[in-house]
Amino acid sequence: MAQALSLARLALGQVSPNPAVGAVVVKDDTIVGQGYTRPPGDAHAEVVALRQAGEAARGAALYVTLEPCCHFGRTPPCSRAIITAGIGEVHFAMTDPNPVVAGGGQRELQTQGIRTYTGEHESEARQLNEAYIKHITTRMPFVTVKFAASLDGKIATRSGDSRWISGVESRRYAHHLRYVSDAVMVGANTVLSDDPQLTVRCCGGKGGTVKKQPLRVIVDGKGRTPVTARVFQQPGKTLLVLGRPATPEERSAFNAASAELLELPLGEGQVDLKELFRVLGSRGITSVLVEGGGTLLGSLFDAALVDKVVAFIAPVIIGGEKAVTAVAGDGAAKIADSIQLKNMRVEQMGQDVVVSGYVGEQICLPA
């Protein structure tokens, strides 16, 4: 199962809104076939592994990170392929929370005399597909907040300079987070101060080529983002979300820049963030990486819309009352009301320390 999980990680960033799944066929203690989920419309992990195994699959054991599907979608059900291949037993790490599966795959296999086992490495499997789990059960994307800050919690100096607080290793990992996310989101202040590209510039496949760029989402309540910003000149799609109606001139200019405009006013130049995530979820966006700035992050925390936090803490002190903090918004009035991260992980990355954890219910843990 550990090998199946390793294979599943290779599918992250390329198969959404499908889950990233890995499968291994074992016969006489030897791996005879293995594979991972291909992009939507192509073969699932089980089918890839069974094709590689061929006749050796008959009587073998199949290890897969998610319960095999039993319904027709873009591809035929994997349960049928497993039965046809003559597999003797199936081990899967977790039940598929998709309502059209949810134990159905296991039942179909059992009715055909195939032994099934579940629960091995379940926590790891759930964490790997935490975005899929949330989206398939709520139709909302999994929201991860990422920021790089100094030891005193600053993400920029009083002049707005922020390059670079974190080290090379941390920035490389940040690109990995973009790579495995369906969308990358920032606020208008970040675009105005940093003029970022918001693209993945590493973590590609063979030859270093990045097959997919995440959707770039700019949250701009007052409509201050210039059409000349670098974000509109990059490969991939950009969505500009306004908190007020767009003017005809803006529509024409952003249309010429191949950018989509979305109006979601909440009032007083603010964007309805909850509705924004509903819209993204309805479009098949399962995961959103929010990279700042402090105003947007504060609004998301205040609205209880954050699922996970990844914080890069650099060994520097910036200081200054006017230096920019990582999270603004209203915040907690009392320490007892502050957000406590759960299932935390702390690791060193170069000279930085990376702290990650979950807010609220932990999707990655067994239900």
121 burial (CB, 10 Å; 0-12 / 13-18 / 19+) is middle
DSSP 8-state symbol, 174: H
Q: CA separation (Å) from 139 to 2, 217, 266, 278, 280?
A: 29, 18, 21, 7, 9
Give 112's strand partners: none
Cα–Cα distances in angstroms (integers) from residue 222 to residues 21, 219, 264, 292, in the given order = 42, 9, 11, 17
8, 64, 219 from 94: Cα distances, Å: 13, 9, 36
- pLDDT tens track, the chain, 367 positions: 999 999 999 999 999 999 999 999 999 999 999 999 999 989 999 999 999 999 999 999 999 999 999 877 777 899 999 999 999 999 999 999 999 998 899 999 999 999 999 999 999 999 999 999 999 999 999 999 999 999 988 888 888 777 788 988 999 999 999 999 999 999 999 999 889 999 998 765 444 455 689 999 999 999 999 999 999 999 999 999 999 999 999 999 999 999 999 999 988 889 999 999 999 999 999 999 999 888 999 999 999 999 999 999 999 999 988 888 888 888 888 898 899 999 999 999 999 999 999 997 766 666 6
Catalogue the active-site residues: 46
Helix (H), strand (E) at residue 127: helix 122-128
- Tokens 């159905």 sit on residue: 104
CA–CA separation, 106 and 68 (whole Å): 7
pTM above 0.95, yes or no: no
DSSP structural state of residue 237 = -
